[in-house]
Structure 1
Amino acid sequence: MAKQNKQPQTLSSVKNASRILKSFSTFEPTKKVSELAESLGLAKSTVSRIMATLASEGFVTKDQETNAYRLGISVLTLGGIVTNDLEIHKEAAPVLSQLVNKTGETAHLAILDDLDTIYIHKEECHHPVRILTHLGRRNPSYCTSSGKVLLAYSEDRTVENVIANGLTAHTKNSITDPDELRQELNTIRNQKYAVSTEELTEGTKSVAAPIRDYTGKVVSAITVVGPIQRMKGYSIPDIAKKVKQAGKEASYRLGYDERYLKNL
């Protein structure tokens, strides 16, 4: 009987450790045991035990002065393995580099994970003033151009899950009305690109387009982002044309051939 009870407890510990690691973000890079316990609804003793184990394996590190934890080097190591192993990353990286040269602004590659978008690759522009972004950062999908592109080509239930989770206003331009979001996604499908103007962060503007795999499924988004004052000097339709072309090129590198699929 003792052996039968051990497996569920082990699985529970793994799940809790996973929840703890996922709770760290760019916005909250450090957390204390008490904060984790409260936000995740776990006992402090449970969190303390898990954090000690994670620290011993290098997944978190503890600041001895503040007693706050942050993610450790082991997370970075595993993240690098995953990123380098992604086919989309390998095929789209040179396309992003070309897009930076054509637009003069930073380019990103993003994927949809649950309700958020995550940057998995970026190519920096050469301007001294640029938008600071972080690989692995999670952003709410409904208020970024890449996220809106990915939602536009997702199943309806994914969009409804995002809406059910709440459309929180991050700036005065954030979409908070469900019907407005649905209409925006419909527009994106028709024009095949998305624009975000200070919807998540003030002072930024971005344009994104879809990337498809060999089956025609949208698996990623390619984005150009820059300071709004500089982006105002560009023709958005012209930027969108370049971003869409980059998306098509990345899709082709992944095996997508629109002409072939139309004849099936």
Structure 2
Amino acid sequence: MDKTGRVQSVDRVVQILKCFTEKRPELKLTEIADELGLNKSTVHGLINTLKYHGLIDQDEDTQRYRLGIYLMRLGDLVASSIDIIGIARPFIVYLCNQVEETVHLGRLDDLEVIYIDKVESTQSMRISSARGARNPAYCTGVGKAMLAYLDEKKLNQILPEKWEGFTPTTITEKQKLLKELEKVKESGFAFDFEEKDIGLTCVAAPIFDYAGKANYAISVSGPSIRMTDEKIELTKVLLKKATMEISQKIGYRG
């Protein structure tokens, strides 16, 4: 144990696990040893211990190492223990106070959005909604903010070719929506310009978790007459800051 109270062997185990990245999901023993500046016998002993506990796997043919299945269980435990509503609440309250419009925290459930929290505007003309309410994801800003980051193959599987239109501006065709979602990924923001309800405009941005998935998003919604270009630009700045801070609090490192 050093002066900081850290145990050297545990430090080395953590360093071994951190060697694996998206770009380098599999590594040879020599690659790990060289990266950490340790001799192969030391690294081999630590890796064998990690293998025993399911934290490291080894390909029998290539002899390369990769992260173990048990880490997925630990990741699921972390994800289930995160109180996204509690973490996001101060941010959506602040957003509501700054823009004076209704703010929602949404979760994606297949092709629907579930509103899991909200803070309503105090203005006399405002958007009224209920926690637990659902809306189609394809015609809401908060829904599109999450759909855009789904795996492309999965998105193509779950989207029908056509669907119901609620207003004249609702996107009702798969290919048009896919193009719209590409724009969302490019800009980081999703919009609903009266696509679900006439007179309602919405700006939304995704929240990313530790795995880089956008399972949650925040939207700011208000009467179109009040959602001017100036207010939309202010909302985008505040939304980007809020969603990034929330993402970091739940483990996002992008």
Quick check: TM above 0.5?
Answer: yes
CA contact (8 A) 1:205 1:227 kept: yes
Aligned pair partner of 1:91 in 87, 92, 95: 87
Q: Which has the higher helix share?
A: 1
Query: Residue 159 of structure 2 aligns to a residue in which SS?
Result: helix
Between the aligned partners of 1:244 and 1:86, the Cα distance in structure 2 is 21
What residue identity is the alignment partner of 1:113?
D
Percent of aligned positions that are identical: 37
CA contact (8 A) 1:151 1:158 kept: no
Gaps (5+ residues) in structure 1? 1-84, 259-264
- Counterpart in 2 of 1:236? 232
Q: Please, what is the CA RMSD of the aligned residues?
A: 1.7
Query: Residue 218 of structure 1 aligns to a residue in which SS?
Result: coil
Q: 1:106-126: per-residue Cα shift (whole Å, max 9, x none)?
A: 110001102101100001112
Output the TM-score relative to the length of structure 2. 0.65
Query: Residue 112 of structure 1 aligns to a residue in which SS?
Result: strand
Between the aligned partners of 1:196 and 1:107, the Cα distance in structure 2 is 14
- 1:239-250 alignment runs, 5 A limit: 239-250=235-246
Query: Residue 100 of structure 1 aligns to a residue in which SS?
Result: helix
Q: Does 1:183 align with 2:179?
A: yes
Q: 1:80-122: per-residue Cα shift (whole Å, max 9, x none)?
A: xxxxx86211111111111111211111000110210110000
- Counterpart in 2 of 1:205? 201
Between the aligned partners of 2:181 and 2:242, the Cα distance in structure 1 is 20
Shift of the alpha carbon at 1:180? 1.2
Between the aligned partners of 2:149 and 2:98, the Cα distance in structure 1 is 26
Structure 1 outlier segments of 4+, above 6 Å: none
**Number of residues of Structure 1 aligned to a counterpart in Structure 2:** 174
Q: 1:53-99: per-residue Cα shift (whole Å, max 9, x none)?
A: xxxxxxxxxxxxxxxxxxxxxxxxxxxxxxxx862111111111111
Q: Which has the larger radius of gyration?
A: 2
Gaps (5+ residues) in structure 2? 1-80
Query: Residue 250 of structure 1 aligns to a residue in which SS?
Result: helix
CA contact (8 A) 1:106 1:125 kept: yes
Between the aligned partners of 1:136 and 1:244, the Cα distance in structure 2 is 24
Q: Does 1:192 align with 2:188?
A: yes
What residue identity is the alignment partner of 1:147?
G
Q: 1:215-252: per-residue Cα shift (whole Å, max 9, x none)?
A: 22212001100011111263423221211111111112
Output the TM-score relative to the length of structure 1. 0.62
What residue identity is the alignment partner of 2:91?
V
